[in-house]
Structure 1
Amino acid sequence: MDWKLPKSRIVGTKQTLRALKDGIAKKVYIAKDADINIVSSIVNMAKQCNVEIVYIDDMEELGRLCSIDVNAAAACLVND
């Protein structure tokens, strides 16, 4: 992909889960190769909150989309 996530984003599994619990996440991104034990709670919470889930091919690509130099298992867009 050649696009980037906007600056109103949160990167990381703990932070994404917190954003979902706080009701500020509007779209969740999950890397397909992330450990299911790590991201399952995010997927479940997103479904409960009716937040769209977008799957990205791998953690390296998700990190790149977030403009960070490390891999990312999860990220989300948040309300401004």
Structure 2
Amino acid sequence: MAYKIGTKQTTKTLESRQAIGVYVARDADPKLTRGIVAQSEKDGVPVRWFDSMAELGKECGIDVGAAMAAVVLDEK
């Protein structure tokens, strides 16, 4: 698996139907996450919630927090 991290990258990945999952931080701004969660649910893309942006960033292998990330298959 690979990640497209951040609001813009997650949105683009979801719109292009490449996302196999979406990760969202509970402490992220709801104005940013609301639409992504709704679109994910509409498209049948599973949403996994993380307690904090720091926890989500760590899951994605970065040293800073992230509001959301799209999960994609590794590009080989």
TM-score for both structures, normalised by structure 1: 0.86
Specify every segment of 5 or more residues in structure 1 that has no aligned partner in the other structure, as ranges.
1-5
Specify every segment of 5 or more residues in structure 2 that has no aligned partner in the other structure, as ranges.
none
1:62 and 2:59 matched = no
1:28 counterpart residue number: 22
Paired residues of 1:17 and 1:45 also in contact (CA < 8 A)? no
Aligned partners of 1:33, 1:71: CA distance in 2, in Å?
A: 10
- Structure 1 vs Structure 2: percent identity of aligned residues? 41
2:41 counterpart residue number: 47
RMSD (Å), alpha carbons: 1.0
Question: 1:45 corresponds to which letter in structure 2?
Answer: Q
Per-residue CA deviation, residues 11-68 of structure 1 (Å, 9 max, x unaligned), is 1111101111000000100001111001111111101111000000100000111111
- Count of aligned positions: 74
TM-score for both structures, normalised by structure 2: 0.91
Question: 2:56 corresponds to which letter in structure 1?
Answer: L
Aligned partners of 2:61, 2:73: CA distance in 1, in Å?
A: 19
Q: 4+ residue stretches of structure 1 with deviation over 4 A?
A: none
1:3 counterpart residue number: none
Aligned partners of 1:31, 1:23: CA distance in 2, in Å?
A: 21
